Structure 1
Amino acid sequence: MGSRQIAQETFDEAVQENITEFQMEPEEAVREAVQQFQSQGVDLSNIVKAVRPVSENGQRQKHQILLSLESLGRAVAEQDVAQLPELLAALAAQCKQEPACRCLAARHGAYPTLLSACQLAAGHGAALPAALGALAALLDGQPELLDAPGRELLLRGLREREAALAGLRCVRHACLRHEHNRQAFVSAGVLPLLTAAIAQHGGDAELVRAAAATLRAMTLDDDIRVPFGHAHEHARMIVLENDGLRVLIEAARAFRDDCGVLSELCATLSRLAVRNEFCQEIVDLGGLNFLVTLLADCVEHPDVVRQVLGALRAVAGNDDVKDAVVSAGATDLIVLAINRHLGNPQICEQGCAALCMLALRKPENCSVIVEGGGALAALQAMKAHPGEAAVQRQACMLLRNLVARSRELRGPILAMGAEPLIAEARALHRDCDDVARAALRDLGCHVELRELWTGQKGSLAQ
């Protein structure tokens, strides 16, 4: 049974009652109202938990975001372009405060008002970027607001240099967790606009970051309302019809010293490595050598390291590329990255996952990984993050792959203390049960889980 919901007005009345009837201070009145409704099982995620401002005559007004929306509506109705930038900036700032503010604004007609503001601002300098910026803030988490006229307006905005950055943010927010919007934008021709924004960036780092993130959004499959998305087809179109791999790799070379841009580009590149031939093309374009060099040069930057590891994991889906990755010396760098960022669970997860892919069906690579400290690094990651199921699962999968076709590696890995750590992962995380059991089996361990885990706890107690 889902949580109950209330209207914003109901919450506001409860707050006002606490102030007038029980003489509470405004902040205390809000806290009391929140506790009251939460104790009744009410979902307050879409409720603005603040006291409405007081007018000059002492009366409670509407929430500030609604007052800003009314002011913008009047300016649009009067076609007062001069006031638009300031009013739009204020509304955008309030929308960014919390999702509840955006929901309240949407319920009171913010989307059509902003769409009219965008149409009025077109051709008026900074007004259009400001209008699209406010629209992007409103669409964040509310992609269902976008309609066909809004989509057409955004596509026009992407073609204007001054408005492109704000337009990209709008498109991205409209496509996250919304498959219909993704497909509609792709059908309308957004992909060449996105790759062109990256290729013709003119040194604009923010534009490249936004374009890469938006391009990646087209390859997601995150809308639970649809049984099948077009993520793979969109990735195919980006690579084959829009030369996406070359565009991303060349942009990465152009922004070699910008960690923020590199992180976005590597994250997007990993989303495009969905076919064997695409993985090979990344190698042929020099992308693999670039990734390995980038990992060596930026090993102190966790965001870049995490995304490079994800990209290496993705391209290693091709068995031939696995050999190229190992030959390029990437295994030592992956182990170095795990050890250097042992406290970062995301890097530990991605590092184990990358080594896991390199070991899969490749016995010769398994020896290289173990000799280079890969198995030991995975076990250290398991010790460092016992509560992180993702780390435990990827480490267990790596250990299994290392010995599945290389039985001679069982002894060295068991000697490192693998067995109790795998048993602990299996006992603590239901998601790890299958891979942990398989790892124990392939390591030659035949002790039942309960007996093993009980025995380990007993030895630790002693």
Structure 2
Amino acid sequence: MASKRIAQETFDAAVRENIEEFDMGPEEAVKEAVEQFESQGVDLSNIVKITPKVSAEGAQEPVHEVLQALGDLQEAVASSCAQAVSTHLSRFCDQCKQDKACRFLAAQKGAYPIILAACKLAMAGDQGLLLQALSALSALISGQPDLLDTQGLQLLVDTLARHSGEATLTCSGLRCVRHACLKHEQNRQGLVKAGVLPLLTNAIVRHGQQPDVVREACLALRIMTFDDDIRVPFGHAHDHAKMIVQENRGLKVLIEATRAFTDNPTVLGDLCGTLSRLAVRNEFCQEIVDLGGLSVLVTLLADCHNHQGRDGGDWASPSVQDLVKQVLSALGAIAGNDDVKDAIVRAGGAESIVAAMTRHLASPQVCEQSCAALCMLALRKPENSQVIMEGGGALAALRAMRAHPQVSSVQKQACMLIRNLVARSQAFSKPILDLGAEALITQARTAHPDCEDVAKAALRDLGCHVELRELWTGQKNDLAP
């Protein structure tokens, strides 16, 4: 994998050299420079690859439009000319959205303090200008959350608080929060300390009819529960989830919001996905049931098959598949509570999950989440295993294994489901083996090293012969290789 990086000036110089020293045309010179650096293991994802103009005097310095827009914006901000700031913000934002290399180059040349100054200028009262400034900030920090400092984080919180009644501004501010927090634990913790969580949940309550606002708020809430910053050994994901639920009524807000979007699978998917991220404690799982969340989830899963969206399109679309996946994820999450497991089965959830997997057999994500949810329902619950078996759950799982032999996650979850079905109900072993389970599990074990343990456990509990190695006997000699 490429790991080396070069500066934009180095790349531009190589292109110029190809033109002047080797008489290459501009396009050929760029292509040759790209091939040259990539052959040396250089990562060029941060490089703007534009074709320079050539005149009688030779190759001209490349003109990077994002830097031109940035320079003009800096002058406009310095002169406090709102109209000029607006024009150049728009140019800069368009350039940043074209390519992440443009964003990287702009950041290298000091774009962040200029955009921050534009935001502060707009905060004086011009909401249209503030919207443009937030859009530019969002575009700049996308994939570059390290750019934000304490001032920037506070500005986002102040903006959301001061303009909480403006849907468009709120949406843009939420997008900035999302970009600032993805893979950045320090920014997450900084924003939480600054009071962003009630602003996120209140945005859903206040703008509960606005799909864009609700989606952005859901995504921001969800990211607050991520533990995706590899630079931080211990994050606050669990603490943030607790704060969202206990201090900001997060579960109630999300469940009530589903009522306004019965014909919008995209927003429903985001709401369900966020709900699953908050089911981190036993009592939270039960609270979701008590608030009517289980009824919502089971109804959504049952309705997805033939429900028509507001635009008249069939719900057999990618957005519906994503909704199904998110509902399944939420059901699997709340099934961590043993009492909720039984409630899901009583509500017909097991049959709906099997039906969803059968309808969306071509989707590995749906198959994976279906098996995972059924696996949770069957865990330590032989009576639930009975319902799953009678509903065709084992057959559906084995069909998923046949449909996606190269997808490790599907194979792994299906093996775990089979194991849980028979662990406390040995009578199910023969019917499952008659469906061809042994060959499929053995195949998964051979093809996917990360399936080794779960496959062996499934084969063992099915009564198949499995060679188990005793790696350590408790004696002082070294561990077996």
Tell me the CA shift for residue 385 of structure 1: 1.1
| Match among 163, 185, 203 for residue 209 of structure 2 | 203
Structure 2: distance between partners of 1:218 and 1:56: 56
Query: 1:29 aligned to 2:39?
Result: no
> Which residue of the partner structure matches residue 16 of structure 2?
16
> Which residue of the partner structure matches residue 456 of structure 1?
none
Tell me the CA shift for residue 351 of structure 1: 0.8
Q: Name the CA shift for 1:260/1:100 in 2 (closer, same or farther; >3 Å).
A: same
> Which residue of the partner structure matches residue 48 of structure 1?
48
> Which residue of the partner structure matches residue 295 of structure 2?
289
Instruction: Tell me, yes or no, if the aligned pair for 1:246 and 1:285 is still in contact at 8 Å.
Output: yes
Deviations 1:275-328 (A, max 9, x none): 110000000000000111111112431011111111111111101000111111
> Which residue of the partner structure matches residue 342 of structure 2?
323
Q: Name the CA shift for 1:61/1:2 in 2 (closer, same or farther; >3 Å).
A: closer
Query: What does residue range 162-201 of structure 1 map to in structure 2 within 5 Å?
Result: 162-201=168-207
Structure 2: distance between partners of 1:246 and 1:108: 45
Query: What does residue range 181-330 of structure 1 map to in structure 2 within 5 Å?
Result: 181-299=187-305, 300=316, 301-330=320-349
| Match among 383, 386, 408 for residue 364 of structure 1 | 383
Tell me the CA shift for residue 447 of structure 1: 4.8
Query: 1:394 aligned to 2:396?
Result: no
Tell me the CA shift for residue 254 of structure 1: 1.4
Structure 1: distance between partners of 2:417 and 2:75: 62
Q: Name the CA shift for 1:2/1:18 in 2 (closer, same or farther; >3 Å).
A: closer
Instruction: Tell me, yes or no, if the aligned pair for 1:335 and 1:372 is still in contact at 8 Å.
Output: yes
Instruction: Tell me, yes or no, if the aligned pair for 1:79 and 1:120 is still in contact at 8 Å.
Output: yes
Q: Counterpart of 1:130 in structure 2: which amino acid?
A: Q
Deviations 1:28-86 (A, max 9, x none): 32222111111111122222223246799973343121111112112111212113333
Structure 2: distance between partners of 1:68 and 1:56: 27
| Match among 137, 150, 158 for residue 139 of structure 2 | 137
Tell me the CA shift for residue 345 of structure 1: 1.1
Tell me the CA shift for residue 23 of structure 1: 3.9
Instruction: Tell me, yes or no, if the aligned pair for 1:359 and 1:401 is still in contact at 8 Å.
Output: yes
Instruction: Tell me, yes or no, if the aligned pair for 1:55 and 1:61 is still in contact at 8 Å.
Output: no
**How many residues align structurally?**
449
Instruction: Tell me, yes or no, if the aligned pair for 1:54 and 1:60 is still in contact at 8 Å.
Output: no
Query: What does residue range 143-162 of structure 1 map to in structure 2 within 5 Å?
Result: 143-159=145-161, 160=163, 161=166, 162=168
> Which residue of the partner structure matches residue 402 of structure 2?
383
Query: What does residue range 417-456 of structure 1 map to in structure 2 within 5 Å?
Result: 417-447=436-466
Q: Counterpart of 2:171 in structure 1: which amino acid?
A: L
Tell me the CA shift for residue 7 of structure 1: 1.2
Residue 96 of structure 1: SS of its match in structure 2? helix
> Which residue of the partner structure matches residue 429 of structure 2?
410
Residue 95 of structure 1: SS of its match in structure 2? helix
Residue 71 of structure 1: SS of its match in structure 2? helix
> Which residue of the partner structure matches residue 309 of structure 2?
none
Structure 2: distance between partners of 1:290 and 1:421: 35
Gap regions ≥5 residues in structure 1: 450-462
- The CA RMSD over aligned residues, in Å, is 1.8
Q: Counterpart of 2:158 in structure 1: which amino acid?
A: R
| Match among 346, 350, 358 for residue 369 of structure 2 | 350
Q: Name the CA shift for 1:142/1:372 in 2 (closer, same or farther; >3 Å).
A: same
Residue 127 of structure 2: SS of its match in structure 1? coil
> Which residue of the partner structure matches residue 118 of structure 1?
119
Instruction: Tell me, yes or no, if the aligned pair for 1:92 and 1:133 is still in contact at 8 Å.
Output: yes
Tell me the CA shift for residue 434 of structure 1: 0.9
Q: Name the CA shift for 1:194/1:32 in 2 (closer, same or farther; >3 Å).
A: same
Structure 1: distance between partners of 2:94 and 2:7: 23
Instruction: Tell me, yes or no, if the aligned pair for 2:26 and 2:52 is still in contact at 8 Å.
Output: no
Tell me the CA shift for residue 137 of structure 1: 1.0
Query: 1:5 aligned to 2:11?
Result: no
> Which residue of the partner structure matches residue 472 of structure 2?
none
> Which residue of the partner structure matches residue 63 of structure 1?
64
Q: Name the CA shift for 1:26/1:417 in 2 (closer, same or farther; >3 Å).
A: farther
Gap regions ≥5 residues in structure 2: 306-315, 469-481
Tell me the CA shift for residue 186 of structure 1: 0.7
Instruction: Tell me, yes or no, if the aligned pair for 2:350 and 2:388 is still in contact at 8 Å.
Output: yes
Residue 126 of structure 1: SS of its match in structure 2? helix
